Amino acid sequence: MPVREPPPPMQSIVFDSVHKVFRRGGFFFSRQCSAETYALRGLSLEMPSGEILVILGPNGSGKSTTLKLISTMLLPDRGRVLVNGANTRRRRNRFAGRLGLSWLRNVPFSRVLPRERTSIFSQLLRMFPGVSAQHV
């Protein structure tokens, strides 16, 4: 059995004026109901390769939606999400198995301040060459 080469590292992730709207009633009843909730409204940012991005915010601020858009679990309603220069809307299957997401719930440091959390994670990441606490 041939040895599989690991995929090349991600070059960058770009959000270009991304909007994501959730409509009450779900997918099948969206035209019958006018209630809309904007999870993201015009999000634009670039995450270069090798950088660590921490997304903090209150419940309902779009943190999970942002990660789901990167992983193609969701697609944007407007704007573009580019991973390594490829549009996730057009090349959705290309990203399967390339991204790993971890949802932390009920973790032991739920009472730890965000600055302390980033310090903990930066110390853990020292095992990876080229990543330091300055990147956090």
pLDDT for res 136: 44
In percent, how much of the chain has pLDDT > 70? 59
- Domain coverage including residue 47: 12-99
Residue 93 makes CB contacts below 8 A (sequence gap 6+) with none
Q: Same structural domain for residues 88 and 37?
A: yes
Decide which of 13 and 31 is more confident: 13
Q: Same structural domain for residues 110 and 82?
A: no
Q: Same structural domain for residues 62 and 125?
A: no
The whole-number average pLDDT for the span 39-61 is: 86
Q: From CA 8, how far away is CA 107, in angstroms rounded?
A: 31
Decide which of 83 and 100 is more confident: 83
